[in-house]
Structure 1
Amino acid sequence: MPVNPAHTALWPAPHASEAVDATVHVPGSKSVTNRALVLAALASEPGWLRRPLRSRDTLLMAGALREMGVGIEETVSSSSSVAGGADGAGEAWRVLPAGLRGPATVDVGNAGTVMRFLPPVAALADGPVRFDGDPRSYERPLNGVIDALRVLGARIDDDDRGALPLTVHGSGALDGGPVEIDASSSSQFVSALLLSAPRFNQGVEVRHIGSSLPSMPHIRMTVDMLRAVGAQVDTPESGGEPNVWRVTPGALLGRDLTIEPDLSNAQPFLAAALVTGGRVLIPDWPARTTQPGDRLREIFTEMGGSCELADYGLVFTGSGSIHGIDVDLGDVGELTPGIAAVAALADSPSTLRGVSHLRLHETDRLAALTKEINELGGDVTETADGLHIRPRPLHGGIFHTYDDHRMATAGAIIGLAVAGVQIENVATTAKTLPDFPDLWAGMLGVSGV
């Protein structure tokens, strides 16, 4: 198979010659968009998603649901580009639920939300649904979802791999009921079962029996979105048992939902303000959200910046100094690459903890960050559950991405302060952040690169 030239091309990361001062319209949240697509597909009436993210992961989700019979109509105003415009304001998707059907084939790419959220949906389809994806998707854990679905009544062929590729033999319904899972490698195992549970005959009771559960904000996001479409959900936070979530069977409502900006994808732009001692405004930053990226306000402030949340958005300002940090990122692991990049430029060491599960993400992010920062002259060591970063003067060189969008944006952050950094396969940012190079150049006030 020929190699895509975009995967080997080197992108010269722009070096900041002065403090940034910019407004950056960040496209919609991938996590919210893909959850909203699943819930709308399972609803009893049509719904609307406004300002959805159009990226590889969300288009894979929409395409998979279409394969199973769901209608998804896209409208784009003349002021909105194919990537959703500067802020996606002109775009909306109308979701028309239908009887889920097979046979169907689903391409998950390397999207955790697609490979984990859709097998429970496929169990409700009338016919077999085959799941396949990128080579890396075969290495990502899926056993928590597969084993749980079997307990709940589904028939799945995976040749006992506990991973892709696999076929879910949908029977048009699923019994549901109580199930125990170990979701310590991914909170998406819990979300996957909860999202489809209102359509299970008995709903579901999910009991996590493993060690600490990572990325709890994403489970809270799932619960909030379920409740917003009429589902009854009992959680540990609402007085239920620790590590137990219960969803009652029932019809889901169609909604008219405007997708929030992706706060995790705002990270590199906020980091630019911190690294250059500048100022960045992210419009429409929500006052209340379950997105993990909201914690950037606290983390980057501790690392030397300041922020103001107003009705029009978040203004983040760098002080000209970057301080090291000792922080547990277990709930917000996806922020680790960007924080590591900033920490490599700080005036004191940093320790990032609670993120051993990142070894199972798009790539082994802990090993990748260690190797790439050290090859630019850094001093990073892996720990059992994270990274220890001792800042040193860095130099230019190639920053490899391993087909991981957050590795690419981490390299771009370093490139702001270090001349001569070249990002291999910056195109991988299209997984969740379309047109990143243009957004980056626009922030810096330079021509597209």
Structure 2
Amino acid sequence: MNASSATHPWPAPTPGGPVTGRVHVPGSKSQTNRALLLAALATGPAEVAVVGAPPTRDTALMVGALRALGVTVTEAGDQRLLVGRPDRALRGGTVDVGLAGTVMRFVPPAAALADGPVRFDGDPRARERPMGPVLEALRALGARIEGDALPFTVHGTGGLPGGEVVLDASGSSQFVSGLLLSGAMYDKGVAVRHVGPPLPSLPHIEMTVDMVRAAGVEVEDGEDDSWRVHPGPIAARDWTIEPDLSNAAVFLAAAAVTGGRVTVAGWPSESRQPGAAVLGILERFGCHVAVGPDGATLTGPDTLVGVDVDLHDVGELTPTIAAVAALATGQTRLRGVAHLRGHETDRLAALAAELTALGADAAETDDGLLIRPRPLSAPVGRPWRAYADHRMATAGAVLGLVVPGMAVDDIDSTGKTIPDFPARWTELISEKGA
């Protein structure tokens, strides 16, 4: 937690009426970090561009990781990153993963190709996040690794045999995506099979498959819970990043909870991003949604209704949806998100604790949350706790639109995926029309 934000909690603005406006959200960090890694592993032109990369902490951590491996990444302005590969194999080095799941799960499979040891470490909470399945999978594919969680060291030997591997990826879809992104560079490619409870966030794996194919790699995914990446070159190509639809959900929620109207500019007509599902979810609460050339526009109802919704494929939306649910009439049940206990924080425990502190009836279930709305009020002398989690922080901002006197203890954590969130939020609330 940033010391200044801990000492001086951010006062969440309460507009006292409908929020109406138009926003441009930063690029998708999920697409950006996949594109950066594929660009670093590609063969072909000396330099490729990633356009629309958001200036967030997660992006900076991936850039830092690639630079540690000998990849040249140059900032060319206008959210444009130029990626150049090293003249020889990736080199050994030290990688700071921070709290970025995409860095801690995507980079080790690439580090196995390095010419030397690569040491990984990160934030204290990152050391508690699950890593074992992907590290064990890499060992089965021929890698030598010291450690089963952060900090750990991948002893790269310039290549990896690859082959077939079975793992339980129920803790994070990133275990599978990490192997698929680098698998074409292994001697035998990689065939990954998931065995265990249902995979969370399957659309994120579908995004990975689409992007790997777009880089000219042959991928088979016709069988449930199985993927095969054939060995071969990864093509060098430029990447254009879509707006981050999971981050957009927070701004749409502002309209939902205040009976306002918000347009997110640049909403893609089709997208593999799981965050696209937020439109349908908010419609179930009673909102009206329209998507067109101008973007996606959400109009909030006079009264939100409770829902029963499975968020298994879109777990990252849970804090935002829980905030909306706490302001609805009737009970809401959020299901399918037990894996959130291993995210940036234990999001289920955190949401239950913080909503209860506001007066809501919120309880954990085996795989989610049960929220029965009650009148909410900000407790005196106690800010909404973000737990150093960007999505917990933005959930507090959503609630603050309706609950006067709220403050968020670590608003700086939003820099992980939304640069300058407080200014963006204040600007939206101060707008007078879309």
TM-score (structure 1 length as normaliser): 0.93
Aligned pairs for 1:91-110 (under 5 A) are 91-98=79-86, 99-110=88-99
Picking from 286, 307, 310, the partner of 1:325 is 307
SS in 1 for 2:208: helix
SS in 1 for 2:91: coil
- Report the residue type matching 2:73 in the other structure: I
Picking from 210, 230, 241, the partner of 1:224 is 210
Q: 1:188 aligned to 2:174?
A: yes
Question: Matched residues, percent identical?
Answer: 56
1-side partners of 2:12 and 2:264: how far apart?
A: 22
User: Displacement of 1:103 after TM fit?
Assistant: 3.0
Corresponding residue for residue 245 of structure 1: 227
SS in 1 for 2:330: coil
Q: 1:403 aligned to 2:388?
A: yes
Corresponding residue for residue 116 of structure 1: 105
Aligned length: 425
Aligned pairs for 1:234-383 (under 5 A) are 234-235=220-221, 240-383=222-365
Picking from 163, 170, 173, the partner of 1:177 is 163
Corresponding residue for residue 399 of structure 2: 414
**8 A Cα contact 2:2 2:410, kept in partner:** no
**8 A Cα contact 2:118 2:154, kept in partner:** yes
- Report the residue type matching 2:50 in the other structure: L
2-side partners of 1:43 and 1:418: how far apart?
A: 50
Q: 1:51 aligned to 2:36?
A: no
- Report the residue type matching 1:95 in the other structure: V
SS in 2 for 1:333: helix
Corresponding residue for residue 153 of structure 1: 142
Picking from 122, 126, 133, the partner of 2:115 is 126
Q: 1:164 aligned to 2:129?
A: no
User: Displacement of 1:3 after TM fit?
Assistant: 6.7
User: Displacement of 1:354 after TM fit?
Assistant: 0.3
Q: 1:445 aligned to 2:434?
A: no
- Report the residue type matching 2:322 in the other structure: A
- Report the residue type matching 1:381 in the other structure: A
> Which 4+ stretches in 1 moved above 2 angstroms?
2-9, 99-103
SS in 2 for 1:352: strand
**CA offsets 1:311-364 (integer angstroms, 9 cap, x no match):** 231111112221111000000000000000000000111000000000000000
Q: Which runs of 5+ in 1 are unaligned?
A: 77-89
- Report the residue type matching 2:194 in the other structure: H
- Report the residue type matching 1:224 in the other structure: D
Corresponding residue for residue 424 of structure 1: 409
User: Displacement of 1:367 after TM fit?
Assistant: 0.3
**CA offsets 1:382-425 (integer angstroms, 9 cap, x no match):** 10000000000000131000000000000011100100111001
1-side partners of 2:189 and 2:21: how far apart?
A: 48
User: Displacement of 1:257 after TM fit?
Assistant: 1.5
CA separation of 1:201/1:7 partners in 2, compared to 1, >3 Å: closer, same or farther?
A: farther
**8 A Cα contact 2:333 2:371, kept in partner:** yes
Report the aligned-residue RMSD.
1.1
**8 A Cα contact 2:55 2:79, kept in partner:** no
2-side partners of 1:312 and 1:165: how far apart?
A: 46
**8 A Cα contact 1:48 1:254, kept in partner:** no
**8 A Cα contact 2:286 2:301, kept in partner:** yes
2-side partners of 1:55 and 1:20: how far apart?
A: 26
- Greater shift, 415-424 or 240-249, is seen at 240-249
- Greater shift, 244-253 or 312-321, is seen at 312-321
Q: 1:391 aligned to 2:379?
A: no
CA separation of 1:3/1:279 partners in 2, compared to 1, >3 Å: closer, same or farther?
A: closer
TM-score (structure 2 length as normaliser): 0.96
2-side partners of 1:7 and 1:179: how far apart?
A: 44
**8 A Cα contact 1:153 1:176, kept in partner:** yes
CA separation of 1:317/1:3 partners in 2, compared to 1, >3 Å: closer, same or farther?
A: closer
1-side partners of 2:2 and 2:427: how far apart?
A: 29
SS in 2 for 1:287: coil
Corresponding residue for residue 17 of structure 2: 18
Aligned pairs for 1:29-108 (under 5 A) are 29-45=28-44, 46-76=47-77, 90-98=78-86, 99-108=88-97
- Report the residue type matching 2:49 in the other structure: W
**8 A Cα contact 2:109 2:138, kept in partner:** yes
**CA offsets 1:137-194 (integer angstroms, 9 cap, x no match):** 1100001110000000001011xxx210001000000000000000011000000000
1-side partners of 2:193 and 2:232: how far apart?
A: 20
- Report the residue type matching 1:326 in the other structure: D
- Report the residue type matching 1:115 in the other structure: M
SS in 2 for 1:394: coil
Q: Which runs of 5+ in 2 are unaligned?
A: none
**8 A Cα contact 1:108 1:132, kept in partner:** yes
